[in-house]
């Protein structure tokens, strides 16, 4: 498990303190981040990647391998992935597989990546439109999460990160849920740092007990079975927005089974709405179920859903296909 998740302010100017001494660094950088913060990264050889799900593919991976080979990168290279979840997933996969694996670290530049995508050691690319169908488990040496980088993050992307933060709170931290209910985290950086830390702790606590997702780690997939299907079938929603819709669907299923109080489901939906997140889709349910069956979380003849029982408590439901 990554021990070195550094969350705070004013960290980017100190980047070099965190890099392994004497190693050659190749940075894989999100193109939008490079346009904004290029001055920090120009000191390294940079491979610029466009952050879009359509580019999170094996084709992009092939181009990265070629660039690494052309630049003469050997097993001693250190890969620095800089960006949101798309680029940290791509850079992590490249680092885990180039020459059977080289050391790497991340500068996480979106709220979603700081809370979720950059921690936990999963990486991957999409295949044929299906999310993260190829990937590995491999831990970065460090993750640097500087909330100052979020100043330039578009509002919509910030909200998408809030969906994963609310997810983390439902999965394992009721106090975090209340904090999000009572404060505008974007307006208060020290509270935001505390909230990111709390969400990361929920994830790390679970991942430490189940790094390769044999059981408990699947709790972190709350909202994702449905959410991935929504993401697959429409370009209308980004990842966090699709997860928001998935969380509300999971609450609905949980209430139907008598596992969750309707008032708690309403509280969850209310908080997602407060952050301007979508809570429903008009996609046909049959289409969604078809996509879910193809999703990697379909397991043999069963589909797994994570259902909230209370704020801070979830359980897994395995349904027949
Ligand atoms: N590996 C995991 O455990 C894990 C967990 C959650 C999500 N993910 C993956 O993460 C991806 C979503 O990541 P995301 O939400 O960070 O989206 P993203 O990487 O697409 O970034 C969102 C947008 O913000 C831009 N951007 C990034 N940082 C910026 C900054 N500081 N200022 C201005 N613009 C900036 C990007 O260029 C992009 O346009 C999905 O592919 C999802 O599957 C992975
Ligand atoms: Zn997610």
Q: Would you state the pLDDT for residue 1?
A: 47
Q: Which residues of 71-101 are buried (b: 16+ CB within 10 A; e: fewer)?
A: eebeeebbbbbbbbbbbbbbbbbbbbbbeee
Residues 172, 123 share a domain: no
Pocket of ligand 1 (CB under 6 A): 30, 32-33, 36, 51, 53, 56, 83-87, 89, 109-110, 112-113, 116-117, 120, 122-123, 131-132, 149, 152-153, 157, 160, 239-240
Query: Residue 271: is its pLDDT beyond 80?
Result: yes
Residue, of 304 and 176, whose pLDDT is higher: 176
- The CATH number of whichever domain residue 241 belongs to comes to 1.20.1090.10
Structure tokens at 191: 């509270």
| pLDDT tens profile 33-80 | 999 999 999 999 999 999 998 999 999 999 999 999 999 999 999 999
Q: Would you state the pLDDT for residue 148?
A: 98
Average pLDDT over residues 157-186: 97
Residue spans of beta strands (DSSP E) within 66-127: 78-83, 104-108, 125-127
Q: How far is residue 24 from each of residues 29, 138, 242, measured CA to CA in Å?
A: 16, 20, 38
Query: Residue 321: is its pLDDT beyond 60?
Result: no
Q: For residue 81, give the 3-state DSSP assignment.
A: strand
What helix, strand, coil percent values describe the chain, rounded to 5? 55, 20, 30
**Domain span at 22:** 5-152
Q: Which residues of 178-213 are buried (b: 16+ CB within 10 A; e: fewer)?
A: ebbeeeebbeeeebbbbbbbbbbbbbbebbeeeeeb
Residues 168, 310 share a domain: yes
Query: Which of these three, 128, 152, 176, is where a domain ends?
Result: 152
Residue with tokens 């897994």: 316
Model's pTM, two decimal places? 0.93
**Which ligand neighbours the alpha carbon of 154 most closely?**
1
Q: Residue 256 half-sphere exposure, CB side, CA atoms within 13 Å?
A: 8
| pLDDT tens profile 100-147 | 999 999 999 999 999 999 999 999 999 988 888 999 999 999 999 999
Q: How confident is the model at residue 96 (pLDDT cuts 50, 70, 90)?
A: very high
Structure tokens at 190: 């020290």
Query: Which of these three, 152, 186, 216, is where a domain ends?
Result: 152
Q: For residue 300, give the 3-state DSSP assignment.
A: coil
């Amino acid at each position: 498990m990554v021990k070195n998740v550094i969350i705070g302010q004013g960290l980017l100017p100190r980047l070099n303190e965190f890099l392994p001494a004497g190693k050659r660094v190749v940075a894989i950088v999100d193109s939008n981040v490079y346009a904004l913060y290029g001055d920090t990264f120009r000191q390294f050889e940079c491979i610029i990647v466009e952050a879009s799900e359509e580019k999170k593919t094996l084709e992009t991976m092939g181009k990265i391998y070629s660039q690494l080979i052309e630049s003469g990168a050997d097993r001693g290279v250190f890969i620095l992935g800089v960006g949101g979840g798309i680029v940290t997933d791509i850079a992590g996969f490249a680092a885990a597989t180039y020459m059977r694996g080289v050391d790497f670290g991340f500068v996480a530049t979106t709220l979603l990546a700081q809370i979720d995508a950059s921690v936990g050691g999963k990486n991957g690319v999409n295949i044929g439109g299906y999310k993260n169908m190829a990937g590995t488990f491999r831990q970065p040496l460090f993750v640097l999460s500087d909330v100052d980088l979020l100043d330039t993050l578009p509002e919509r992307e910030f909200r998408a990160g809030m969906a994963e933060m609310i997810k983390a709170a439902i999965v394992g931290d009721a106090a975090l849920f209340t904090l999000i209910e009572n404060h505008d985290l974007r307006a208060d950086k020290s509270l935001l740092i505390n909230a990111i830390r709390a969400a990361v702790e929920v994830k790390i606590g679970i991942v430490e007990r189940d790094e390769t997702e044999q059981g408990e780690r699947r709790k972190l997939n709350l909202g994702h079975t449905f959410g991935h299907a929504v993401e697959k079938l429409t370009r209308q929603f980004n990842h966090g927005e699709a997860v928001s819709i998935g969380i509300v669907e999971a609450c609905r299923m949980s209430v139907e089974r008598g596992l969750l109080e309707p008032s708690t489901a309403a509280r969850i939906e209310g908080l997602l709405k407060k952050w301007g997140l979508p809570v429903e889709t008009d996609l046909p349910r049959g289409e969604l179920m078809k996509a879910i069956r193809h999703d990697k979380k379909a397991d043999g003849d069963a589909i797994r859903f994570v259902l909230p029982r209370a704020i801070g408590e979830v359980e897994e439901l395995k349904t027949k296909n």
